[in-house]
Amino acid sequence: MAVETLKKKQEISTHKKSLKKRLLQFWPLYLMLVPAIVYYTLICYVPMGGIILAFKDYSFRKGIWGSPWVGFRYFRTFFTSFDFLRLLKNTLTVGFIKCILEFPFAIILALLLNEVRNMKFKKISQTITYLPHFLSTVIIVTMLQRILAPNTGVINQIVGSLGGDSTTFFMMVPGYFFKLLFSMDLWRNIGWDSIIYLAAISGVDLALYEAASIDGCSKLKKMWYITLPGIRGTIGLLFIMGVGSMLSTGFEQIYLLRTPGNMTVADTFDTFIVRIGLMNGQFGYATAVGLIQGLVGLFLVIICNKISKKYTEVSLW
């Protein structure tokens, strides 16, 4: 009680002090903040000026600021283009898979790992689940191509040896694309994503578990009534941030999984931006599509944050 009162007093006195005094008093802390401020300013905020390209006909020679204005031309072209609805549908589907469908799996893994008492087994399991995260997408897709090849791939050979049709060309069938993407992405990220939840779980007060044990609570109930509520804040924050990147589906994974057979579904805003921006040199158009993507992401984060704040009291701000 006394400690809390002291803390409050300190807070009040700190707020009352002028910025100059606070700078003088805590200058080592402010100094440590400088690299972070410099980093975010230079790497994250200054390049944002490039957004202006979405409204300009970019000229190599005149640069971003000197190029002539074209207003909302690129936005009009994009919204009225033949590709827009297809791209939106594909992007939302991939975003849903990555942000919503995959989301609980890392939590489940963290909960399961938390219950493992054999430390050796736990460490081996963690290492095995983390490893795919360090493999490049190119390697993973190349492995997939080999595993799923018609006739010669492992999967088709197993199907064939069981008397089934071994000629299925999984990579060329649009119906398999989202399933493959989901499996590949989950396998790659589940271990890595579970780390943050494991860290949050380790912060849950052990006294709660002891009390629950005394009350005769089963492991499942402890997980449901103590662990999950204990990490609710972390889950909420990560979910809100994840929703923000729902339209950013990642380029390389989809680009590498793309074949002529599945290209109706394997084309999202990200691959479209690379195709028109880098391959066709239409930088303004690509920036406009990227801007739409960013704005929709920001809008989704604000909505989610509001809903979350209202119902769960967990929010980013």
Partner 1 sequence: MKKNFLKRLVTTGLATVFVASSLIGCGTTASNTADSGSSTTATSEDTTSDHPDTWIADRTITIQAYVDDIGNNLPANINDTEVMKELTKRTGIKLDIQYTPGDSDASVMASQLASGTIPDVIISYLDDSTRPEFPILLKAAKEGMFADLSSYLPDTKVYSRYLEDNYLSNDTKNNITFRDDLDGAAYILQLSIDSEDRSLEYNPADAYVGGLYIQKSIVDALGIDPTSIKTQDQFYDLLVQIKNGGFTDDNGNAVYPLGPKFWGGSSDTLEYIVPGFNWGVSDGYNITADGTIQHEADTDYVYDKINYVRKLLDEGLMNPEFFTMDSTRAEEVSRSHNSAIIADVHNYQDIVYESDDWVPLGPLNDISGDNSKITHGKKGNGAWAISADAKNPEEILKFFDYLATPEGQLLCEYGVEGVSYNLVDGKPVLTDDVLQKMNDGDKEDLVNTLGAGLGGVGCNFFHFVVTNIDNTGNFGESRPGAGSSTTYARSVEIATDYPRTLKLVPGLDATAYLSADSLTDVKAQMSLLNYNDMIVQAIYASSDDEVKSIVESFRQQLKAAGNDTFIEYLTQLYKDDSTTIDFYN
Binding residues vs partner 1 (CB under 8 A) = 28-29, 31-32, 34-35, 38-39, 58-63, 77, 81-83, 142, 145-146, 149-151, 167, 169, 171-173, 259-261, 263-264, 275-276, 278-283, 285
Instruction: Name which of 243 and 286 has its Cβ closer to partner 1.
Output: 286
Burial status of residue 249 (CB atoms within 10 A of its CB: 0-12, 13-18, 19 or more): buried
Q: Which of 180, 173, 97 is nearest to 144 (CA)?
A: 180
**CB-nearer residue toward partner 1: 169 or 187:** 169
Q: Annotate 184-208 with DSSP letters as a single string.
A: HHHHHHHHHHHHHHHHHHHTS-HHH
CB of 2 to partner 1, least distance (A): 22
Q: How far is the CB of 281 from partner 1 (least distance, A)?
A: 4
Q: Which is nearer to partner 1, 100 or 135 (CB)?
A: 135
The smaller minimum CB distance to partner 1, of residues 20 and 61, is found at 61
Nearer residue to partner 1 within complex by CB, 265 or 301: 265
Among residues 50 and 297, whose Cβ is nearest to partner 1? 50
Q: For residue 56, what is the DSSP state?
A: B
Q: Which of 253, 248, 236, 240 is nearest to 295 (CA)?
A: 248
For the beta carbon of residue 34, count every other beta carbon within 10 angstroms.
Answer: 9
Residues 141, 146: Cα–Cα separation, whole Å: 9
Q: Which residues of 108-147 are buried (b: 16+ CB within 10 A; e: fewer)?
A: ebbbebbeeeeeeebeebbeebeebeeeebeebbeebeee
Least distance in Å: CB of 82 to partner 1?
A: 4
Find the shortest distance in angstroms from Cβ 280 to partner 1: 5
Q: How far is the CB of 8 from partner 1 (least distance, A)?
A: 22
Min. distance of Cβ 194 from partner 1 in angstroms?
Answer: 30
β-pair partners for 63 = 59
